[in-house]
């Protein structure tokens, strides 16, 4: 029977992918360090973990733990990563160590013990600003917004003549534009895996996840996905905090669709490719905050639009998923409203520590929020 190692396997995406793979008849090993920021100060394995998966508590930066986890493994899904744009801009050593050194440690082990396939989780953050169209209908890769424009609350992307650009679905062919330490980490992770995979004859692929949401997301981590952050606020009777004007657009994809994409990538024959994993639809952050409050029965908690911006944030980015449809046979199946309703059911039995204001003040003290 084929065995899959999932690094970061006790987390949000890893646990759902473990369930999907076990249901499909795979054996699964999970390697996870149960970091307190995600799993709480007790660092206990989460109750949602499937008991059929073999959990190894250890760090992907530890060669001994990685060596132990790779025993008998045929396929590797590398999800282990410290996540968050804002935090990465001040906790730089930790992010580089966990994300890049962790990936290099795994790859050194795989060079000695190759597997049949390697899939690595990357991120839409590598694109920076998403693809746009100018007033002449030409597709353009927009520049980063200037600090001068942001300080004057000119949020939208503009061309050199100050004309507003229209956001478009972003394909894998768009050149990377790395606007945060986290984005740099994710790009390094995917390039390391594809490069080393090619050199050692390990077929490899990278999945660029867009905004993943769903049950089991860490609600008390103020640097996790925006829906979980909004949920933590709403559970504590507080309004969601929305940066800029709330009209920035993102692509929200349900975690079960992401888990299915991971299985498709592990079973694919594609080698050396990168794939967008999103819904293929865009939504404004403000509309998402309102939609979540509605399904959670907290219409009274209107989003608080701060009018502030965070260093490393981008304006618009949503996925073109045609390549994933064609080569992976990937088709998102969870409609957004249904996914939100399922999330609300999960949240009804949850408690969350709301650390958003503390995290924002941390960023402000370092000049990363203005």
Q: Which residues are catalytic?
A: 182
Alpha-carbon Rg for the chain in angstroms: 20
Reported residue count of the chain is: 370
Q: What are 300's two structure tokens?
A: 């009274």
Give CA separation, 31 vs 18, 169, 198, 278, in Å: 11, 34, 24, 25
Q: Where are the alpha helices (DSSP H) in the chain?
A: 12-23, 36-39, 63-69, 85-88, 92-95, 102-112, 147-151, 181-199, 226-235, 255-267, 285-295, 322-328, 336-347, 356-365
Q: At how many degrees (to 10) do helices 12-23 and 255-267 cross? A: 60
Gap between the terminal Cα atoms of the chain? 54
Tokens of 220: 């008390």
What does DSSP assign to residue 68? H
């Amino acid at each position: 029977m084929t065995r899959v190692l999932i690094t970061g396997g006790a987390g949000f995406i890893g646990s759902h992918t473990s369930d999907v793979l076990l249901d499909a008849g795979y054996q699964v090993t999970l390697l996870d360090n149960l970091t307190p920021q995600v799993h709480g100060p007790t660092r206990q394995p989460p109750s949602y973990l499937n008991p059929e998966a073999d959990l190894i508590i250890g760090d992907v930066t530890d060669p001994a733990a990685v060596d132990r986890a790779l025993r008998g493994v045929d396929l590797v899904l590398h999800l282990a990563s410290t996540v968050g744009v804002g935090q990465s801009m001040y906790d730089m050593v930790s992010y580089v160590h966990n994300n890049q050194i962790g990936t290099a440690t795994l790859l050194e082990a795989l060079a000695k013990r190759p597997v049949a396939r390697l899939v690595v989780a990357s991120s839409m953050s590598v694109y920076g600003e998403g693809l746009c169209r100018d007033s002449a209908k030409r597709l353009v890769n927009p520049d980063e917004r200037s600090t001068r424009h942001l300080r004057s609350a000119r949020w939208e992307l503009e061309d050199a003549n100050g004309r507003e650009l229209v956001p478009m679905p972003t394909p894998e062919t768009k050149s990377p534009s790395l606007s945060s330490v986290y984005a740099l980490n994710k790009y390094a992770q995917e390039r390391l895996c594809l490069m080393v995979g090619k050199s050692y004859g390990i077929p490899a692929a990278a999945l660029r996840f867009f905004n993943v949401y769903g049950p089991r997301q860490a609600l008390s981590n103020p640097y996790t996905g925006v829906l979980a952050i909004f949920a933590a606020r709403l559970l504590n009777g507080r309004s969601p905090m929305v940066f800029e004007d709330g009209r920035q657009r993102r692509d929200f994809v349900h975690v079960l669709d992401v888990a299915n994409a991971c299985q498709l990538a592990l079973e694919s024959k594609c080698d050396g490719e990168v794939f967008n994993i999103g819904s293929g639809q865009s939504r404004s952050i403000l509309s998402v905050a309102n939609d979540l409050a509605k399904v959670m029965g907290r219409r009274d908690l209107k989003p608080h639009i701060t009018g502030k911006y965070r260093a490393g944030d981008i304006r618009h980015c949503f996925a073109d998923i045609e390549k994933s449809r064609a080569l992976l046979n990937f088709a998102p199946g969870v409609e957004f409203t249904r996914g939100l309703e399922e999330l609300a059911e999960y949240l009804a039995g949850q408690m969350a520590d709301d650390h958003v204001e503390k995290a924002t003040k941390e960023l402000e003290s370092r000049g990363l929020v203005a």
